[in-house]
Amino acid sequence: MTALAQLLCGWAVVTLESSGTGVGVVARSGNWPAALGSTTRELGPLVTWDGPPGMPESFALEFTLVRGFAVAVLKTPSNARPGTCVAHLVAGDRATLDGATTLSLYDSGRFLTTVDDPRYPVDHWDPISKPLDSNGFAASADAYLDLDWLPALLGYTLAYLSGRGPAIELRVEDATDALSMLRALYGILPRNSLRDLTFCTMSAPASDAAITAVTRDSHGPAPGNRRIVTPGDRGDESDPYVQLGQQIVGHRRAGITIPETLSTAEEIGAWCFRRHLRTLVPAELDDDRLAEVITDPELSPEWFRDKTVATRAIQLAIGRPSVARALVHIDHLPSVRRTFEKALTDRVTNDTRDRTRTLELARQLGFDLGEAVAAAARRRLETGHGQLSAADAAAVWPRLHADWATGNSKRRQTIAGYLSQHRALREHALGSRDRALVHKALRVEVDDPGVPTGGSRLLHTAMHANLAIVAQVAVDVACDGRDHYALEQILACAPHDRLPALLAECARYPALPALDLMKALTLTRSDPAELVEALRPAWHDLRRALGLPAPIEDLVELDTADPASGNGHRIGIRLPRRGFRRRYDKDRSRAELSTLLQTADEFPPTVQAREIIDGALHSDLEYLVSNLVTRTRSADGPQVLERVLALAPADQLPTLVTACARQWDLPPATLLHAIVALRLSPAELAEALAGGWPWLRTRLDLPQVIAPLLTLVVPQDDPTDSWTSLALDPDGRRARRFWR
């Protein structure tokens, strides 16, 4: 038993409130809640008789909720002082004290009606023990099942508790009749649903109880709109809640009690509806109604004896998890389990939809459908009807892998066809150690028009486990030349941290069209820093595709910083057009320059020729370059260009190269080979090309995003030699002596 706090108040000679005679608290237990107050002023209506002077047999039993506590009160008229009453209060928390406890305390005579005990006043009164929780009102309720007012009282109470109806007023002869009605109410409805129901067997002007009683001794009805319940009155039978009360009474007559676990009017209504559905023929129920019946926790296993019902239950459980959970918790009969297994097997064998959920339901119900799944999967694989699920693929793959391992070409061709048709098989193929099988699975994945390659989970996984094979597939696609989009999507699927390694693996293949690979890369990555990071490991092999002479190719690297355009100076300044300046007291003319260019392949490297070129570089650079471009169109043009570059002074060579590089009519390959023919050191070669490199690199048939990233870098360990022109002296020695 649980101890409840109690307090007794009435007219006495001595009270706890003062030493004088009057109405006051005469006894109080030590655990009385301070929040409720401990004086008549603080307790207020809880200890006040609100009705007319009562007859000796009058009383008022009240259950209410005050300041977070549940309080039960019995008020009886005082014999010592007319107009006052003896009030015995019992208080506890709302989970311990409720209306049913209040009725039990009254029926067991635990409430006091006098203050004549000589021990009073006492402020350490013993707490009152709580009666054992039991449904002691069930018998009382059964005695009232045939009375007209019971369905109305049940319905109006549920309407009030659900917030869809006003409070209730019982019009009875005396308070004893009201208690009988309350016992019937608590004996039929679940106790948890009535936790917040307050009542008072007397009607008072200030009463806000959910149920009040108007007796012959009452002043009159409580204020506000209230539903009236009178013995002999059936209530409003068109009210849905009154109809619900009639259903509850009907179930009780049949010996069916509402489960105590229900706590709301909605739950009670749903329970009654399910009970009604169970009385109907299952064939008349649609899927929603049948699902409601199956999920009823009180459903008997006998209900599934009909094979049609059991089969429909399996169909519903596959698509509705709530039905599946309900079936799992029912202890089915052996015959019903056989029906379940047959329905699941037929579903797995003949239906390609929801196969995964079907297998999950079979596992929950304790059925092993492994053999049925394997047989159905093999049949679908051989006939080509429908896609294999993950479970199907797992069932047939061991046999397919063994057939592939035999090396039989026809069998491998058949398995390759299976991989093309069933994507679920590719996941198992990627886990194989056979490189040919993995390559075939990846190539099929890339060629599958129904799979977006850029978002392929299988390809993304292979980037980590089989990167070399992915690179081989990418090279195959690139060499095919028909589907550049597939190559682009392979690169798009590569994770950021695996892309450099993938490109490096691809670059190892000599047949790789490197320019196509770089173009595809720029369609998936646009940030210069990302491009440099991705291409740098493979650049040593990729730059061979640029067609550059070997000495220049060795200098070309990738970098986001462009030294040629970042120094703030303009490259290749256009010089004013004016006549040659005088040097060594000799006049130079354009006619002499034209004659020199026409015969440069035969003209010896004399001092006169060098002075003509030097003068043109200082005074008429544009004329010199335009004539060079025109001259290079002839068969011996490249040799002329090489000779002129060899005649140019060392300090003017970068200027001449820059001016030539800016001429779109001059092929860059011709200019680059002419520069390489000078056999300059790497540092001198980089210096000579520095000014014209921004124009030359844009004409290498590279993507516009990659071309600006090409820079000339001199190796750190390269020895620096003075610039020499082998065109002046084939063995180089006489030329060095001349420039000294």
On whether the CB atoms of residues 633 and 666 are closer than 8 A, the answer is: no
The residue type at 316: L
Q: Maximum CA pair distance of the chain?
A: 152
For residues 725, 728, 732 and 736, what is the CA-based torsion angle, rounded to 10 degrees? -80
pLDDT tens string 151-178: 999 999 999 999 999 999 999 888 899 9
Judge whether 576 lies within some domain: no
CA atoms within 13 A on the CB side of 661: 25
- 229 membership: H or E segment, kind and range: strand 226-229
- Confirm whether 567 is domain-assigned: no
Best CA proximity match to 422, nearest among 367, 383, 471: 383
Contact assessment for residue 611 and residue 570, using Cβ atoms and an 8 Å cutoff = no
In the chain, the amino acid numbered 417 is: G
CB 278 within 8 A of CB 256: no
- Interatomic CA distance for residues 679 and 230, integer angstroms: 122
Q: How far, in Å, CA of 150 to CA of 144, rounded?
A: 7
Measure the CA–CA gap between 481 and 342, rounded to whole angstroms: 54
- 258: which DSSP letter? P
Residue range(s) defining the domain that contains residue 458: 384-529
* H-state helical runs in 466-545: 467-480, 484-493, 499-507, 514-522, 528-535, 539-542
Q: Are residues 450 and 359 in the same domain?
A: no
Same-domain check for residues 344 and 422: no
CA distance 635 to 633: 7
Q: Do 607 and 661 belong to one domain?
A: yes
* pLDDT for 351: 67
Question: Which amino acid is residue 519, in one-letter code?
Answer: K
Same domain, 33 and 62: yes
Nearest to 428 by CA among 405, 392, 397: 397
Q: Are 372 and 358 spatial neighbours (Cβ–Cβ below 8 Å)?
A: no
Does residue 570 form part of some domain? no
Question: Nearest-CA neighbor of 112 among 100, 124, 98, 126?
Answer: 126
The confidence score (pLDDT) of residue 589 equals 61
Residue 553, phi then psi, degrees to nearest 5 = -60, -35
Q: At what angle do helices 682-690 and 653-661 cross, to 10 degrees?
A: 50
**Within a domain: residue 560?**
no
> What is the rounded CA–CA span in Å between residue 617 and residue 638?
19
* 412: exposed, middle or buried (Cβ count in 10 Å: 0-12, 13-18, 19+): middle
Q: Say whether both 257 and 295 belong to one domain.
A: no
| In contact, 696 and 564? CB cutoff 8 Å | no
- Report the half-sphere exposure of 210 (CA within 13 A, side-chain side): 22
Q: Tell me, what's the pLDDT at 694?
A: 92
> What's the token pair of residue 310?
């059991």
Instruction: Quote the pLDDT of residue 621.
Output: 84
Please tell me whether residues 202 and 115 are part of one structural domain. Answer: no
| Helix residue spans in 543-652 (DSSP H) | 550-553, 590-598, 607-619, 621-631, 637-647
Low-confidence spans in the chain with pLDDT less than 70:
1-2, 19, 51-57, 132-135, 205-206, 217-224, 351-354, 481-483, 561-589, 599-605, 717-740
* Domain's final residue, options 204, 239, 272: 272
Residue 578, domain member (yes or no): no
Long-range contacts, stretch 43-47, CB < 8 angstroms, 24+ apart: 43/7, 43/9, 43/89, 45/204, 45/206, 46/71, 46/73, 46/87, 46/89, 47/9, 47/23, 47/73, 47/75, 47/85, 47/87, 47/89
Q: Is residue 214 part of a domain?
A: yes
In sequence order, which residues have a C-beta less than 8 Å from that of residue 556 and are 6 or more positions away?
543, 546, 548, 710, 711, 712, 713
Write down the pLDDT at residue 716.
76
**Angle (CA) 207 209 210, round 5°:** 145
Q: Which of 223, 249, 272 is the C-terminal boundary of a domain?
A: 272
Is 583 within a domain? no
Nearest to 467 by CA among 444, 495, 492: 495
Cα–Cα distance, 299 to 303 (Å, whole number): 7
* CA separation, residue 435 to residues 66, 421, 479, 668, 681 (Å): 79, 20, 20, 44, 47
- Which of 418, 738, 452 lies closest to 604 in space, CA to CA? 738
Domain co-membership, 250 together with 207: yes
CA neighbor of 643 nearest in space, from 615, 612, 682 = 612
Which amino acid would we find at residue 451?
Answer: V
Task: Judge contact between 650 and 723, C-beta under 8 A.
Answer: yes
**Same structural domain for residues 291 and 364?**
yes
* Residue 355 and residue 389 in one domain: no
* 503, 525, 614 from 491: Cα distances, Å: 9, 9, 52
- Token pair listed for 198: 């307050």
pTM: 0.53
Task: Decide the pairing of beta strands 211-214 and 199-200.
Answer: parallel
Write the DSSP symbol of residue 193: G
Identify the helix (H) or strand (E) that includes residue 361.
helix 355-365
Spatial CA neighbour of 38 closest among 83, 89, 3: 89
Spell out the alpha helix ranges (H) of 279-350. Answer: 287-294, 307-319, 321-328, 334-350
Q: Say if 565 falls within a structural domain.
A: no
HSE, CB side, 13 Å, CA atoms: give it for residue 205. Answer: 6
**CB–CB of 85/117 below 8 Å?**
no
Q: Are residues 610 and 735 in the same domain?
A: yes
Name the DSSP class of 209. Answer: -
Indicate the residue among 85, 108, 129 that finishes a domain: 129
What's the structural domain count of the chain?
Answer: 5
Same domain, 142 and 122: no
CB count in 10 Å sphere of residue 383? 8
Does 96 lie in the same domain as 9? Answer: yes
Cβ(463)–Cβ(493) below 8 Å: yes
Is there a contact between 708 and 584 (Cβ–Cβ < 8 Å)? no
What pLDDT is attached to residue 738?
32
Nearest CA among 528, 537, 529, 472 for reference residue 499: 537
